[in-house]
Every structure is written in structure tokens, then in C-alpha cells.
Structure 1
Amino acid sequence: MLRLAIRFLSGSYHATPWGRHVNEGDIEWPPSPWRLCRAFLATGFARLGWATVPPEGRTLIERLAASPPVYHLPPASTGHTRHYMPLYKNVTAKVLDAFAFVGRGEDAVLGITWDVEPTAAERALFEALAARLSYLGRAESWVAAEVTEALPEHLSPCRASECAPGPGYERVALLAPLSAAEYAAFRRERVGGGGAAEQEGPARRGAKAPKKSAASKEAAKLEALYPADLLAALLKSSGDLQRDGWSQPPGSRWLSYWREGDALAKVSTRPTPAARRRAPRQDTALLALSSDTARREVLPRSEDALLCMEVLHAALVRKSDRGDGFGPSPCLTGKDAHHTPLTGHRHAWLLPASLGSEAHFDHVLVHTAMELDERARAALSSVRKIYRKDLCTLVTLVEIGLREDFEQAVPYVRAAKVWTSVLPFVPPRHLKRQGASSLEGQVQAELASRGLPPAERIEVELEGGNYGAASDFWDFWQRRHPGEIRLAGPEAAHEEGSQLPGAQLATRWRHFRSARVLKPEQRPPVAASLGLRLTFAAPVRGPIALGYASHFGLGAMVPAP
């Protein structure tokens, strides 16, 4: 018995079945026996320095070909990327790269077993080939393989059979090699039988027999068309097969394998070992946004973040409502089953993140102060597209876990003493000069309602990138139109943080959407879009989003650079 354990270093497996185009988005899962045998041969030539296949290599491949393997599948789900491949003369073609996402955890292992008894030399060669196997399928499917004595118990078996092993299974056709004896018989039938038929055919029709030289040429062509043996058939390149007109590789056959019906619809929610040690809860998810066009304008602009988050939120709420009378997930709506609003801002914040582009945002961080329930997790993994007017944006779930798991990639969840706005702060109440409704009062109240400590210093952004103290905000606000603005009091010009004459509130925030579109009745009480800088006495961990429509991204802040 030979057992092989394969781990996918990038967490994904990329391969297209024989006879299918890559843009069909089909995935060969599990990898076909034909692909495995060719991968071993390629590894021998590329990594072991073969000039020809050694005798133990020939017998090993023949043993593997004669015994269809049994697969042991880990939980997996499907995904894809779309990109434009350069061809020639600045011509590009759109390529759909579909893949099976397996993950990179300890148990994310594809197991393969062959019921064979190899010799000592064959086993040693098999272990050497497995150790040097670097990818399987397309080149981005990086793997690490090893021969093992045992496989994880949670894996799902997938066997070749003429009928399903039971209900809930689906058939998948995999290309497999014939045995060496079967291929030899197949070749004799096609080459020897084909030549005799051609010699007998003209006699039956009363025609003259072909010349001996012509018959020899035809026989030579026919022999060249069929590889000499099974190994020669496995070594044929795809280009050679297509040039010779083969619709299926010679020496191959289709086998019916049976996998569970949801084999490619399982999103693994197993946390990393570090996450398991910290806590069993999940409160944060990261979604990736992508475009299916050559230009990137389909990705939402930062100025349109509010509208996009409204549309995404509505899609998540719809997906979480299963029509069973329990309604959508409270994690997403902020209301319980009796439609009573939850307190303490515990439901989901949808925060757009620009991890790859400054003008557009390409990810969305979803964070709740409560644990994400099963309905919310299912909704996050099932939303695939959102539409804004006639523009479609593709949505892919990257990961679900704790907010600390995303600290390296997403600035929103880091800890810092100084935080600055990336989306405008819109006051949740009418502004007053002093008291609880002043700018300082509203910001401190927003922090307290989220369980955050009070800010030691609150500053408002001015034109040119400078900041002024929030205590001077009212003078800027009363005379916020372009023109000369002076601070109140003769001593103000000497205070730390006071601005020179002519300073005014930053105008760049006016270009951002600041009013909800899907619920126009919930408009902001005041038309003010401000940039803030908050300084705390000690580092505070995010995310921090304050003010009107903060659960849809407005008022989002990141640590100051």
C-alpha cells in the first residue's frame, strides 16, 4: 500500500479537466490518475535528472496505472479570479482562473492511496518523487507531498465505481491510464488490425492492391501515431496530442469516481491553532471585491463607499433570512427576533478598505462586537455579486476569524494612540457651540457608546492637511465658506495647534456621499463632512467608526502614519 499526503502551500488547487476550456471554470477535483502519473514522470526528469525513465520508474508507473487510486478529500470550496493575459502585440485575452480552496491548516490534506505492493527500489523512488513534487495542476498550485503511514480521519473517501456508494454522492469523471497490458493490446488492435483492414479492403472492392512502398509508409504513419508503450503515451505533450488530432490521449480511459455532493461547497471554518488557543468565537470577516472588466472603474470609488456598503449590507441581510420565521441575523440587522434594536453598537460594521488601490477600495472588513452567528457566516460565504446601477462587483469571502487575525493585513483592527479619518465623520446630531451637542461632545459620546476610552485631544482637519483644535471648530463652522478665518481671541494665535489667518475646514470630504440612498428618510441631521484626528492616553484597538451611518463605513478611522 502506498499512501501520499499532499498539502497545498497557497491553500488552493488549480487544474482544468481534460476536454474542458479554462474559461468554463470547471475544476478537476480530485486530481485525475492521469495527471498524477504525468506529474511523477515530470518530477523525475526535472528534479532527479533523468535522461530516460529508469527500470524501477517504469515498473512503478505501470503499477500505479494498473491500480486506480482512492482519494481522501478535505473540506473544500470553489473560487476564481479574472485577469487579462498578455498574448502578443499588446493583445490581451480574459482568463478565468477557477480553483478549489482547501486551506493551509494542519488537516487541509489531500490523501491518495494505491493498493499496490512495490519493491524496495520502487518505494524508495516513490518517496523521492513525492518529496520533490513542487506543484500539481497549473503552476500556481504549489504543493508539499510526503509518503505517510496514516491520513487524518476527517477526510472524505472518493473511490472509482460503476455506481454510487449511497445517496448524497455525485459522479465525477476522471481521466486514468490503461494498464501496460491493456495498452499493448489496444495498440496491437489499432495498428496491426488497421493495417490488415486496409490490405483486405481494396480486394473486396475489386480495386488494385496498393504498392508495397505506399503501404509501408501508411503503416509507419499509423505506428508513429500510437506511442510504443504506456510510458511513451504518458510522456506525450498536450501540443503533440492536439497536433496529431487526438481528442483523448491514447492509452487513457474515463473512470467514474464518486464524491460527496457538497465536496466543493464546504467552507472550512476550522480556526488556526493560535486562534483556537485564544477563543472559539468568530467576530470578523474579510471580503474581497473584484471587477470582471479590463478597467478598474467597476471597483467602487472611495467617495461612493456609503452606497456600496448599503447595497452589500442589504444583500447580506437577504441571504441570512432563510424564510423560516426567525428573520435575518441580528448580527447584521442590529435587531432581535422581535425587531427590538440592540444596544451598544454590537452589530456589524461594514468598513471599506483600500488594500491595493488608493482611489478605489477592494476589500470590506465586517466586524461585530458580538459573535458572528451561523446565519451571518452563511450569508458572508454565499454573497457573490452586488450591483450598483448597471455595474456589477464580484464578492469573495477571504477569511472568517477574530479581529486579531487580520491585524497584519487590515489597518482598521490595529492598536494605536493616534487615529485619523479615512472616511468623513458626519455628526449624528445638530451641532452646537458648547455642551453635549458640540463637536467635542458628540465625538466623546460616540466613543463612550462603543465602550472606548475618551480622547485626550480631538482635532479637525483643515485645508492643506493641517489640523486645528476642536475647541476652535465653531468659528470655522460658522464661517466655513472660502475666505479669511481668524481664531477667536488675541491669544489664540499663540496657542499650540491654532491656525494661521485664512485657514478653513478641509473641503476634500465634501466629495464623499454622506447621506443614505436606500433609506432616504434617514438623512443626516446636518450637512457636515469632517476629517478628525483623535489622540488617546494609551493605545486603543480598532476598529473605530463614529457618527452617522458608521455601521456603513462613514467615520471610519485608521492609525495615523
Structure 2
Amino acid sequence: MGLVLEQTFPLGRFHATPWRSNPFDTDGEWPPSPWRLVRSVIARWYQWNRETGDGDDATLADLVKALSSSSFAFYLPPTARPGAVLRQYQPIGFGWQPGSRTKNEQGRTVKIPGMKSHARSLVQDSFWAVPVDEPILWFIDGAEWTPDLVDVLDRCLERVTWFGRADSYSTIRRRRDGQGVEPNCSLSREGSVEAVPVLCPTADALRADLERVTDDPKLIAASVPPGAEWRFALPPKRTPLHAPVIRRGTRDRTPVVQFAVSCAVAPETRVLCRLTKTLRDRAVRCLTADYEGRSVSWSRAERRTRDELTLFVGKNADGQPLRGRRHAQFAVCIEDGAPTRIVVRRATDPHAATEVDGLDEREVAALLRAASQPLTWTTAGSQVPAWSVSLVPLTPETPLPAGFDASTAQTWRSVTPFVPTRHRLRRGIERAGEDVASQVRRELALRGWPVDGLVVEEAGPPRWTAVHVPSGKSRQRAFIGDRMGFDLRLRFRTPVRGPIVLGQSSTFGVGLFAPEGGSVSGA
């Protein structure tokens, strides 16, 4: 007779450790072992007999024989996969804990007395994430089954509330109609490289073998418990968890995404580039995960993925910059010297002939996921503590800072230092026609702003400023990433509309100008 059992895990987790396996060395038991199922059914038989008194030893013996002599196969959900490992300390005994020695403020060695407390042990809990709406199916086939035994099995399965660890809640029911679904995992006696061992009862397993507790002397030293044997299973290939592809032409677009900045220690204005670059890199990894099912950097992504991210990163699949400024640009609003808001928008020139309107749904979702974890502006290996900031998404109705709205101004002041794209010759000799004012005028003219009558003047002393360093150039020279930045004031002949962001690393928060006298914001 063939039976089909349907097992679900309401919390989406199956916690169990295979026999004789160290929890630190395994992802958890998968597929569930028939040995565990048989022991669970026997335990529920005792509960059923205690509640109703309808059971007897002969019925239990027949049930054990029917289960042990049956063959097992499974339908395992292809989307199931190992979950994130849980680790926690648990008490293992109460007693005297030895003291220790330390040094006091005077540098003298003093003894810390011992005390009575619980000792702790690190416990690892591995589990499999199982879809709640897609059950595991057990295909059981045996010659010992009778209608009466099947009815007893149903009564036992009704009382199963957990399977594996006690926090692995589960329900098991027999399917009345087992048609329409075929097993995708079977058990064999011979293993292979990709096969996993599964503990099964032998055909002649005794009731006493199946009822042994784990601290039984016969089990502690046994590689295989009495009445059990190893079979081997080849689980089905996991289905990649790809997000559905959304075509660019059908996506809704958001003009601007804003985040409030919360921090205990505010970063200096000169290092904001590192903060915004971290946010951009995280968003790129979230986008690659959407397209490929794995989180990788832009350079390691497949070519078709890099092509999809062209308008976000500002370069094509070959790494060549796009013509015009059509990529995502990150702005940081500053008040009283501290960042208060991050603004992300599509960096289009206000005077460009063509313009891509805003960020699409997938880019916005990636930014929200990237901002869900704190950001740090300290460099890798730095001696400075890893200070961080937290970002809180703002509603679309939040007003834009001055310089990003539709207002105009005649005088603009640096919020973050302007870093020239052209550097001086050796020994600080300035190139002909490459002074700071000339570079500002040239860049403004290329982007369509009026430069006739423009006055460029220094509003403060120059200062070292962190800039974006391409990954291929990060080891070329010492102190790479710091450039001389200039605090400037721009006076136009007529009022102009912003935002104005110029110079090197303008995408990452360097070279923003805001209307002088308005709220200060940076990009």
C-alpha cells in the first residue's frame, strides 16, 4: 500500500541536526530522516493511547513493523535552502567560577575574586528555511499496511506538533488523494559525491531500538544506532530566487529619494564622499542581487546586468562613462556643520536637451535596502573607531533643500569643497589656463550655465578633501583619495537654477554649491 504524508512548518524553519554530526559542521538535516519520523510517530502513539486508551502493544508492534519495512521517497520544495546560522550562549552548570587577575589604575596586579554563576557554552542552531505554502511530501510504500494501521497512523500524526528541535513547529497529515505529485528525491544504498546520508530504520528494527533515548550507553558510542542504517539521497537542485524582471519602459519613476541622517558623532564635511560611496556601492550590490540572485560588485556582475545598471552607475557595460550626466547622484544636506539629510536623484543637467526623469522602482528599492544598515565613513584598516550613521527614509512629500527645488539665485556658495579635475604640475606649478576659476567657468559652460560676467572668488581657505578612487588605482600612490579642495563663491550676472555640482567626485558628495543665505545642502 502506498501512502502520501504532507508535512508543513508554519514558521518556515526545520531545525534538526543529523545523527553523529557536530552542529558547527552541518547546515542541518535535509531531507528529514525516516528514522526521525518513525520515532516521532511512536512518541505520539503513547500520547494517543494515554488520551483514549484505544491502543495496545500488538498494534504498536505492527505499526513499527509497517514503518520500518516501508520504502521512503520525498517531494522537497526546490526553493528550500539552508537558513542563516543562529548562535547563542546557554548555561551548562552552576558552580564556582575561577577568579582572574588584572591591573588597577596604579598599574598593580590585583586579583578579581571568583563567584558562583552559570558557566556558558556556545550553541549553534542550523536550520533549513522551508516555504510555508509548499509542503514536504513523504511517499511511503510497504506491504504491511492495513486500513486499521493507517487509521492508527492518522491518529498519531494528528498529535505531532514539532519535528526535530522543540522550536521546529510542524504539522503532518496523510493526503487522501496522492495523485498529481511525483517524488523528486529518493533513497538508495549507494552514495555519490553530491549525495547526503539519511538515517533510516532497518526492516527488522525492534521497538526497543526505536525507543532508546539519546543518552543510552548503546547510542553514545555507536556510529549508527541499533536498528538503523544509512541510506543516501540526492536532493533536487535549488530554484534560484530571482526577482521578476521589470522592463524599464513600464517602471514608475521617483524624482528624488531622501533620507534623514542620525549619528552620535557627525562626520567631517571633507569625508562625506566615503559615506555616499558606501551607500552607492551597497545599492549596486542590491541591484546585482535582483538581477542575478547573488550580491556582487558592478565589476564582477554579468555583462547583461552591467548593461541594465548603466543609468545608475553612469557607465556602460564596458566601463566607459556615459555622455552627459544621467546617472544617480548623491547629495548630503548640512546644517551647523553636521549632515542632516541625504538626497539621491538622477544627475541630469537642467539645460540638457534630453533627460531621464527620476529613479525607477528597482533603483528606489535597492536604495532603501542599502540604507537599512548603518553606514561608516572610516577607511578599512583605519586606526579611527568605525563611527557610523543611520538613515531613515523620508516621505516623497518632504520639501527639497534649497538648490534642489525650482528656485533661482544669483550668488552660490560651496557646501562641500570644489576639487579641480585638472591638477598642477610637479612642484606645484600651475598649468597655463588651468587655474581654479578657469576650470569652474569651463565646466559651467559645458553644462549650459551662463558664464558671461561670472565672478569666481575664494570664500575660505583650501582644505584636504577625500575623493572617490577607482578600484584599479587605489594602490598607485600614498595618501591616495585626498585632494586639495577649494571653498568658492560664484556670482552670476543673472539668477540661475540649481543644483550646481562641479569638479571631481561630484557624484559622491564633492563640489556642491547652494544659494548663499539659504539652507545649506551638499552633494
TM-score (normalizing by structure 2):
0.50
Bigger helix fraction: 1
Bigger strand fraction: 2
TM-score (normalizing by structure 1):
0.47
